[in-house]
Amino acid sequence: MKPLEELVNLEEPGWGLVEEWMRTATNAVEVLPKDDHRASQELVSMQVTTRSPMGAIVYETGGILVDHGWLRILGSGHARLDRGLFGWNQGRTIHKLGQPPSHLLIADDLLGGYFAVNAGGLGTKMGKVHYLSQDRMEWECLDTTYSEFVHWAFHGDLDKFYQGFRWKTWQQDAQAALGHQVFSFYPFLWSKEGSEIEKCHRELVSIEEQYRLTMEFRKKLAPSGSE
């Protein structure tokens, strides 16, 4: 395990690149302030250098909210997004300190969709970001790296990506939700009856509960898929 001093890169910090992306962002981006102690703990636990955008976001932010909070990129944790990158993965994709996970959960959205970097458990495209949506319940490769994903989150056409899954009041609802909450829909979005989101009942639930249910549904709907 490398100490904090070896992980903090002062000569070529990745945070400068992230700040540049934020200055030119076309989507609303809100950086949550970090707690120094928590940020240091998360970075050491992750064992990633701040030269990379991932390490920089963990060390410099409590997390990043994109598009009114619709999309949440994990940092070190904050009252409004009380999940650090390591803490959220621990027990889900990281089962033993020092052992690499099969994939790393890096972000999620209000639909209960999860973004993860493939570390070998999501197919052959190592290092690429995959997306697990509630309508398909399958990990789909977005063919982007972590850095490219963050840039896309700040600049990409999110309305197009989420076409058909944004209801009329989504902006107000997104701003009212906390970072440990997602919407649960009934009928389920993966069902035939759940194909029209405006007709679905929705309510905010804890992301811990929703993630557990998502993994259970995956076992039933895609038993051969990766967890």
Q: Encode pLDDT of 74-106 as tens digits.
A: 999 999 999 999 999 999 999 887 778 999 999
**Could you report the per-residue pLDDT of 133-143, keeping only the tens digit for each?**
999 999 999 99
Alpha helices (H) along the chain: 4-7, 15-23, 36-46, 53-60, 85-89, 146-155, 158-161, 170-176, 207-221
The DSSP bridge partners found for residue 131 are 115, 140
Average pLDDT over all residues of the chain: 94
**Could you report the per-residue pLDDT of 9-59, keeping only the tens digit for each?**
989 999 999 999 999 999 999 999 999 999 999 999 999 999 999 999 999
Residue ranges per domain, the chain?
4-221
Residue of higher predicted confidence among 227 and 125: 125
CA distance 147 to 151: 6
User: What pLDDT, on a 0 to 100 scale, did the predictor assign at position 222?
Assistant: 64
* Percentage of the chain modeled with pLDDT above 90: 92
User: What pLDDT, on a 0 to 100 scale, did the predictor assign at position 223?
Assistant: 52
User: What pLDDT, on a 0 to 100 scale, did the predictor assign at position 92?
Assistant: 95
pLDDT band at 5 (very low <50, low <70, confident <90, very high): very high
Considering the segment(s) 4-221 as one domain, its CATH architecture is: 3-Layer(aba) Sandwich (3.40)
Residue 189 three-state SS: coil
Residue of higher predicted confidence among 223 and 128: 128
Q: How many CB atoms lie within 10 A of CB 199?
A: 11
Instruction: Check whether 180 has a pLDDT greater than 80.
Output: yes
Dihedral sign of CA atoms 128, 222, 93, 159 in order: positive
Q: How many CB atoms lie within 10 A of CB 66?
A: 22
Instruction: Check whether 221 has a pLDDT greater than 90.
Output: no
